[in-house]
Chain A
Amino acid sequence: MASTDAISGLRFDLNQGSVRDLNQRLHQPGGGGPVLIANPGGRHAIAVGLDAPWKVEIDGHVGYYCAGMNQQASVRVRGNCGVGVAENMMSGVVNVDGSASQAAGATARGGMLVINGDASARCGISLKGADIVVRGSVGHMSAFMAQRGALVVCGDAGEALGDSLYEARLYVRGSVGSLGADCVEKDVRAEHLEQLRGLLAAAGVDDADPLEFRRFGSARQLYNFHVDNLGAY
């Protein structure tokens, strides 16, 4: 099912071969270079666990956990994503032309996830260091328990944004349905504008002014933040 072309690189047709074959090929040592994946058909776990400088393009809609655990690779989805795109990403870039379902970028530790459409519920849940830029809006419970990294939302955020947040930074340009427990609005200082400018530029967003965003973070009032509880265990 795989064909190789010296100029355009690898080409996989998922109507001809399995996702497992594809992923095994991409896991072989010494990988890297352009890969085109045709007919994804909403299949799950496409291009997961990559750890090489691949430049993957997926021509269509994908199912669950696309580009999960990504390291080094750059993955572009020319379509929509199912649940958990780029979950637990360590490094690299995942770029989605369309919209993403729930839990986009869940627990991701590094790299950047760009969603050009909307992301639904729990975007960036338990985020641990990656940066997520969403051109559209995000659903409820986004950035729940997010620890590090940034979530930039150019549209609106749903209910309970940033519930039980730790140190992740949240930037929202539009409206916020409601803030979750212990999430508060904070001042946008020069360092935040600088970070926003960098993130928007890296994500290729050139139609959003950093000055239009509001910043949200943790009020640090929940149990874990109280020094009195330090010796409890």
Chain B
Amino acid sequence: MLVQLSARGPDSAGVAFYREPAPVGSTKLSLRSAAAGTAWDGLAAECQQVFGNPVTYAVRASHAILTIASEAEPVETWLALHHPELTVMSAGSVIEIYKQAGHPQQLIDRFALAELDGSHALGHTRMATESRVTTDHSHPFSTGLDLCLVHNGSLSNHNRLRAMLRREGIQFLTDCDSEVAAGYLTWRMREGATLEQALDGCLEDLDGFFTFAVGTADGFAVLRDPIACKPAVMAETDDWVAMASEYRAIAGLPGAQDAVMWEPEPGRVYSWGVAGVL
């Protein structure tokens, strides 16, 4: 799907897979190392020493998925302190994020994504407009446990919003407007909003244009700005539901030709869960 859409922008790509739930009481963390040849075994041993619980890890190119019998927050705090060379890209029980600057095909090949399966996935191919092309600027962005965001569009009030969110304790790695949207959702849900309420808040608080897709533990949500500047198409069959910027991305899925298709209406929050519509 990403390669089909790479004509829209091929400078960076990323995916979030929802797969292989961690055991109850454990957390999966997607870690990215800036340094080549990271000793992931050493890190796992270190974590085990600190948190006193068995730690497993699976390496995929520059990333590793660390599963640790602990809540996410203490591990993230410890990592930030002791391993600043690592970036935590996602945390939760099922989410795994892989992303890098470069063409989507490179991502697929380097991370051998074809090997992965799962209940659902979210992907993004980027054409940077207002901020740099780096892996940190690439989508998806984590917005909390098992949550992540991809964005098509551009926000105009992201600087002011970022400053406000920083005061609220939300951390940002980049000057990318999309990361601010992710931070906004994180903040709203931290303050007690449901995902749906947080997305509704975007219509009020975000100035600019956007189509958002948000991955959740058991499904995904979609929101377009009220003017519908950016495209989105939905397709549904008895077996699957898919959303993309264009039908081209969906065309390769089995039975796509006969799927029920429609455009999500502007300014309306849509959400799906594995067990059906949420």
Contact = CB atoms under 8 A, between A and B. Distances in A.
A interface SS class: loop
B247 A63 contact: yes
Contact of B251 (A42, A121, A139, A140): A42
A126 interface: no
Contact of A102 (B228, B250, B252): B228
B228 A121 contact: yes
A80 B250 CA distance: 13
A80 B261 contact: yes
A99 B262 contact: yes
A26 to B, nearest CB: 21
A44 B37 CA distance: 43
B208 to A, nearest CB: 17
B251 A61 contact: yes
Given A60-B257, A61-B261, A140 B228 contact: yes
Contact of A41 (B227, B248, B262, B265): B248
B266 interface: yes
A68 interface: no
A82 interface: yes
A101 interface: yes
Nearest to A62: B247
Contacts of A99: 261-263
A63 B257 CA distance: 13
Contacts of A107: none
Contacts of B233: 101
Interface string B224-244: 000110010100000000000
Given A101-B233, A101-B263, A120-B263, A63 B246 contact: yes
Nearest to A60: B257
Contact of A82 (B246, B257, B262, B266): B246
A139 B228 contact: yes
B196 to A, nearest CB: 22
Given A99-B262, A101-B263, A121-B266, A80 B247 contact: yes
Contacts of A41: 248, 251-252
A63 B266 contact: no
Contacts of A63: 246-248
B231 to A, nearest CB: 7
A120 to B, nearest CB: 5
A210 B164 CA distance: 56
B248 A43 contact: yes
Interface in A125-157: 139-140
Report which residue of A63, A121, A139 has the largest number of chain B beta carbons within 10 angstroms of its beta carbon: A121
A170 B233 CA distance: 27
A199 interface: no
Interface in A74-119: 79-80, 82-83, 98-99, 101-102, 118
B231 A83 contact: yes
A36 B70 CA distance: 60
Given A99-B261, A120-B263, A42 B248 contact: yes
Contacts of B261: 61, 80, 98-99
A42 B4 CA distance: 10
A102 B262 CA distance: 12
A61, A79, A80, most chain B CB atoms within 10 A: A61
A195 B246 CA distance: 36
A229 to B, nearest CB: 29
Contacts of A120: 228, 263
Contacts of A82: 231, 246-247
Contacts of B250: 42
Nearest to B257: A60
A176 B252 CA distance: 37
Contacts of B252: 41
Contacts of A140: 227-228, 266
A68 to B, nearest CB: 16
Interface string A149-187: 000000000000000000000000000000000000000
| Most chain A CB inside 10 Å of its own CB: which residue of B227, B263, B265 | B263
Interface of B: 227-228, 231, 233, 246-252, 257, 261-263, 265-266
Given A61-B257, A99-B263, 5 more contacts: A42-B248, A42-B250, A121-B227, A121-B228, A139-B228
23 contacts: A42-B246, A42-B247, A42-B248, A43-B248, A61-B257, A61-B261, A63-B247, A64-B246, A79-B257, A82-B231, A82-B246, A83-B231, A101-B231, A101-B233, A101-B263, A102-B228, A118-B262, A120-B228, A121-B228, A121-B266, A139-B228, A139-B265, A140-B228
Closest 7 CB pairs of A and B: A42-B247, A42-B248, A41-B251, A42-B251, A120-B263, A121-B228, A61-B247
